[in-house]
C-alpha cells in the first residue's frame, strides 16, 4: 500500500480536477494559505483513497485517527467533510458521522441515463455546428489515454478517460452543459471506482476513438449509438455488492513516504 505523499496529493488533485464542479471560491487562483493547503491536502488524499478503493463505500471516516494521521484539527477536517459531501463523495450522518458514499442502484441508473441523454445530444450538436478539424485535440487526448495505460499510470488514465467526455462537450462552448457534465462525470467516476471491476473500471480508448471516427465520417447516428453503448457498458460493469470494511485510517494516511 502506498503511503501518503506530496506526489499522491498532486495526482489526486489532477485525478478529479477535470471532473469536479468549478470551485465555489472566487479566490481559488490565489496562493493557498497554510490552512487552505492543508484542506486541499486532506481532501485530495481522501478522494484518491476513495477512487482507488482503499476506502470502500460505507466506510466510516472516524475523526480522531484522521486528525492524527494528517496532523490537522477537527474543524479543518470537518470543513473538508462538508466539501466532500457537497460533491457527494461522502455522506454526513447525524449519528454515524462521515461515511464514504454508497450510491444506490437507482442513483447509478439515473446518473448514467443522464449522461447518455446529454452526451448523445452533444454529438448531434457538434455535427451540426463544428467545422474543420475540430476533433484534433480530442484525438490527441485519446493518444494520451493510451500512453497512460501503456505506462501503467492508472490515476492519469482514469483522469484522461473522464476528460475525453468533458473535452467533447467543451467544444460546444456552453458553460451550463460543461458544468452539468462535470458533475455527472465526477459521480460516475466515483461509482466506477466504488463498484467497478478493478481492471475494467475505466473507459476503453478504442471505443473513444471509434466514436470520433464515426463523427468525422459524418455518421452521427452511429456516433450516438457507439456513445450510448460505451456508457451502457460502463454502467453494466458496476456491481453494487462491495461491503464496507474496517479500514485502519492511521495506517492508510499516517505513514510518511
Q: Which residues bind Zn ion (CB under 5 A)?
A: 203
Report yes or no: 216 and 46 within 8 Å, Cβ to Cβ: no
**Cα(177)–Cα(147) distance, integer angstroms:** 28
**Cα(195)–Cα(198) distance, integer angstroms:** 9
Minimum distance from residue 163 beta carbon to Zn ion (Å)? 10
In what side-by-side order are the strands of the sheet with 97-100? 60-61, 97-100, 90-93
User: Among residues 38 and 145, whose Cβ is nearest to Zn ion?
Assistant: 145
Closest to 84 measured CA to CA, from 73, 97, 71:
97
User: Among residues 84 and 211, whose Cβ is nearest to Zn ion?
Assistant: 211
Minimum distance from residue 162 beta carbon to Zn ion (Å)? 8
User: Among residues 167 and 240, whose Cβ is nearest to Zn ion?
Assistant: 167
Minimum distance from residue 46 beta carbon to Zn ion (Å)? 25
246: left (phi over 0), alpha (psi -120 to 50) or beta: beta
Report yes or no: 72 and 42 within 8 Å, Cβ to Cβ: yes
User: Among residues 203 and 249, whose Cβ is nearest to Zn ion?
Assistant: 203
Minimum distance from residue 130 beta carbon to Zn ion (Å)? 19
Minimum distance from residue 70 beta carbon to Zn ion (Å)? 33
User: Among residues 59 and 201, whose Cβ is nearest to Zn ion?
Assistant: 201
C-alpha distances (whole Å) from 142 to each of 164, 206, 217, 222, 230 are 7, 8, 18, 19, 15
DSSP characters for 179-219?
HHHHHHHHHHHHHHHHHS-GGGSS--HHHHHHHHHHHHTT-
**Cα(176)–Cα(123) distance, integer angstroms:** 16
User: Among residues 52 and 201, whose Cβ is nearest to Zn ion?
Assistant: 201
Minimum distance from residue 207 beta carbon to Zn ion (Å)? 7
Report yes or no: 100 and 56 within 8 Å, Cβ to Cβ: yes
User: Among residues 127 and 204, whose Cβ is nearest to Zn ion?
Assistant: 204
Minimum distance from residue 87 beta carbon to Zn ion (Å)? 20
Amino acid at each position: 500500500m502506498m503511503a501518503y505523499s506530496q506526489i499522491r496529493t498532486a495526482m489526486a488533485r489532477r485525478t478529479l480536477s477535470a471532473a469536479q464542479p468549478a470551485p465555489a471560491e472566487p479566490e481559488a487562483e490565489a496562493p493557498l494559505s497554510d490552512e487552505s493547503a492543508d484542506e486541499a491536502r486532506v481532501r485530495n488524499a481522501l478522494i484518491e483513497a476513495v477512487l482507488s478503493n482503499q476506502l470502500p463505500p460505507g466506510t466510516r471516516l472516524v475523526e480522531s485517527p484522521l486528525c492524527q494521521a494528517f496532523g490537522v484539527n477537527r474543524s479543518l477536517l470537518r470543513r473538508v467533510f462538508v466539501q466532500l459531501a457537497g460533491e457527494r463523495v461522502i455522506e454526513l450522518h447525524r449519528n454515524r458521522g462521515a461515511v464514504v458514499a454508497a450510491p444506490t442502484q437507482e442513483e447509478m441508473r439515473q446518473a448514467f441515463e443522464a449522461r447518455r441523454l446529454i452526451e448523445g445530444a452533444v454529438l448531434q450538436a457538434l455535427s451540426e455546428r463544428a467545422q474543420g478539424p475540430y476533433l484534433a485535440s480530442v484525438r490527441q487526448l485519446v493518444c494520451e489515454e493510451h500512453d497512460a495505460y501503456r505506462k501503467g499510470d492508472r490515476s492519469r488514465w482514469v483522469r484522461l478517460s473522464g476528460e475525453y467526455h468533458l473535452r467533447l462537450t467543451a467544444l460546444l462552448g456552453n458553460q451550463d452543459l460543461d458544468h452539468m457534465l462535470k458533475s455527472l462525470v465526477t459521480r460516475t467516476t466515483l461509482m466506477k471506482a466504488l463498484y467497478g471491476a478493478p481492471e475494467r473500471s475505466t473507459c476503453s480508448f478504442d471505443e473513444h476513438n471509434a466514436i470520433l471516427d464515426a463523427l468525422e465520417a459524418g455518421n452521427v447516428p452511429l456516433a450516438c449509438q457507439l456513445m450510448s453503448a460505451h456508457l451502457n457498458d460502463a454502467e453494466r460493469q458496476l456491481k453494487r455488492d462491495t461491503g464496507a470494511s474496517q479500514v485502519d485510517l492511521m495506517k492508510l494516511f499516517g505513514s510518511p513516504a
